[in-house]
């Protein structure tokens, strides 16, 4: 797993190194998901997120309580060298969700895609159905 070959994976490892491992251990929150699988198996695919699994109710409750009180800064032992380009967002469905300046992206033909140079979001327009965007 070390050192990572891909720049994005190196950044992920840098962020993981700055997390408060003791707090996450008390919460029984473990790094997992597709990013871990990719890192453990020669980086066979690019993975852009950091997933944690927390299967113990008490640990999940502690995690939510502390984050609710102190924000996501509670996850870090040190934020030195960590610049977040946007606020951390968590959900139970794997991160990003399409937003119509209201609802979900329908299964229709797409007329245009826009990705800014910083890669922060993807905007999609459809024929006669509106414009959607998702944070990346």
Average pLDDT per 10 consecutive residues for the chain, totaling 136 residues: 83 89 93 88 86 85 87 82 59 46 60 80 75 76
> Where in the chain are the domains?
7-75, 99-135
Q: Which two tokens stand for residue 63?
A: 């995690």
Question: Which among 94, 28, 32, 12 is positioned nearest to 63, based on CA atoms?
Answer: 28
Which H helix or E strand runs over 135?
Answer: strand 130-135
Q: Which two tokens stand for residue 47?
A: 């993975």
Query: For the stretch 100-134, what's the b/e string if a residue is b when 16 or more beta carbons lie within 10 angstroms of its beta carbon?
Result: eeeeebeeeeeeeeeeeeeeeebebebeeeeebbe
Which H helix or E strand runs over 21?
Answer: helix 21-26
Biggest CA pair distance of the chain: 52
CB of 51 closer than 8 Å to CB of 34: yes
pLDDT of amino acid 103? 47
């Amino acid at each position: 797993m070390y050192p990572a070959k891909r720049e994005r994976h190196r950044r992920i490892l840098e962020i993981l190194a700055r997390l408060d491992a003791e707090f996450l251990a008390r919460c029984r929150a473990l790094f997992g998901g597709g990013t871990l699988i990719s890192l453990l198996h020669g980086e066979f695919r690019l993975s852009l997120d950091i997933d944690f699994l927390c299967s113990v109710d008490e640990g999940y409750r502690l995690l939510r309580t502390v984050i609710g009180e102190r924000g996501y800064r509670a996850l870090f032992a040190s934020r030195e060298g960590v610049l977040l380009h946007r606020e951390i967002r968590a959900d139970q469905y794997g991160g990003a969700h399409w937003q119509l300046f209201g609802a979900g992206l329908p299964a229709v033909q797409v007329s245009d895609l826009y990705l800014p140079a910083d890669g922060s979001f993807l905007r999609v327009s459809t024929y006669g159905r509106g414009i959607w965007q998702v944070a990346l």
